Structure 1
Amino acid sequence: VSLDQTCEQFVACTSQGFELFDLDCLTHIWAFSCEPVLISVPKNIQFSDYGTTVVGGTDCGSTLVYDVENGRVIQTLSYHCGGLVQAVAVSST
């Protein structure tokens, strides 16, 4: 689970993939587009420093960068060994 800087939204890894929620009223905003979950273990997802993107690992050998405004993948980062990418981190520098 990752909380945005304004403490208004959070993202979580669920059995459906990555999902965005409103923290004030605990409502589901949307599920980020992703491949079906193959390995049901928690995967890390993090908001960027500015809250405009989230970065999450997959069980398909990649890390996905999503646009928070529309839930779409804006970049895919491939892991050369494939498999589970469980830990991710973001930095503004």
Structure 2
Amino acid sequence: MNVQSKGQALQILKQDAEKIYSLINSQKEHLCYAACPAFEEVVDTQLFGLSKQIDFAIQLGVLGEEEGHQIIADLETSLNRMYSDYFKKHTTKPQREGGI
């Protein structure tokens, strides 16, 4: 694969990752949907698909293994942060006034 094709392949992978970031970030604005099974299924499917694309790019030598794993790790971190924010918001019990 020539240098131009490698650059194009990397750009496509980054665009696909950005689409998943956008999906996750849109859910941050609507935390009530974070527990939605359909959202979880879509994100899981997209992450799985992207991980397969990244594995293929690594095998072709288009992408370094560390860089590929970092793309997935960054997405997973973003997703975990969104879920953490959701659960903090929905599992924090209000304190009662004047008592234990």
TM range (shorter): under 0.3
TM-score, scaled relative to structure 2: 0.22
> Which protein is bigger by CA-based radius of gyration?
2
Instruction: Indicate the structure with greater helix content.
Output: 2
Instruction: Indicate the structure with greater strand content.
Output: 1
